[in-house]
């Protein structure tokens, strides 16, 4: 069972425009959500996170929105830059003292078109 879903395998966006990546989850116990960026042949790199007590978190060009009632979160990148081309993974974690393992989505490949 896929508890974290990224339904768009790929997304192409013009440079300078907004990129919106979506993620849905099914486990209502998840209370912490993260986005990772991954380049080919490299490990995932943490990008931004949000706790379930918030509905928005912003860090420079990156903003994550959380809609708990819809069990949906999105990552907005604005303006998009060529270096943003990568695979983006959504991940979630449930509160579990001493064991905060992450559940990942399948990823969305973002291509920024110059």
Partner 1 sequence: NAGVMQNPRHLVRRRGQEARLRCSPMKGHSHVYWYRQLPEEGLKFMVYLQKENIIDESGMPKERFSAEFPKEGPSILRIQQVVRGDSAAYFCASSPTDRVRTEAFFGQGTRLTVV
Pick the closer one to partner 1 by CB: 41 or 53: 41
The CB-of-61 to partner 1 minimum distance in angstroms stands at 20
Q: How many CA atoms lie within 13 A of 106 on its CB side?
A: 9
The CB-of-17 to partner 1 minimum distance in angstroms stands at 26
Hey, what's the torsion of the CAs at 114, 87, 92, 46, to 10 degrees? Answer: -80
* Residues at the site binding partner 1, with contacts judged by CB under 8 A: 4, 6, 32, 34, 36, 41-46, 49, 89, 91, 93, 97-107
Residue 41 carries which DSSP code? T
Q: How many CA atoms lie within 13 A of 9 on its CB side?
A: 0
Strand pairing report for 45-51 and 19-25: unpaired
Pick the closer one to partner 1 by CB: 3 or 81: 3
The CB-of-98 to partner 1 minimum distance in angstroms stands at 5
Pick the closer one to partner 1 by CB: 69 or 99: 99
Pick the closer one to partner 1 by CB: 74 or 106: 106
The CB-of-40 to partner 1 minimum distance in angstroms stands at 11
Cα distance between residue 50 and residue 66, in whole Å? 8
């Amino acid at each position: 069972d896929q508890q974290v879903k990224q339904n768009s395998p790929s997304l192409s966006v013009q440079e300078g425009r907004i990129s919106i990546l979506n993620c849905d989850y099914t486990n209502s116990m998840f209370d912490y959500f993260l986005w990772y960026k991954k380049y080919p042949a490299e490990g995932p790199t943490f990008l931004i996170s949000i706790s379930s007590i918030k509905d928005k978190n912003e860090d420079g060009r990156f903003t994550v929105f959380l809609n708990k009632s819809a069990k949906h979160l999105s990552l907005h990148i604005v303006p998009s830059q060529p270096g943003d081309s990568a695979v983006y993974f959504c991940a979630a974690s449930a509160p579990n003292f001493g064991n905060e393992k992450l559940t990942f989505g399948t990823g969305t490949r973002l291509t920024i078109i110059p």
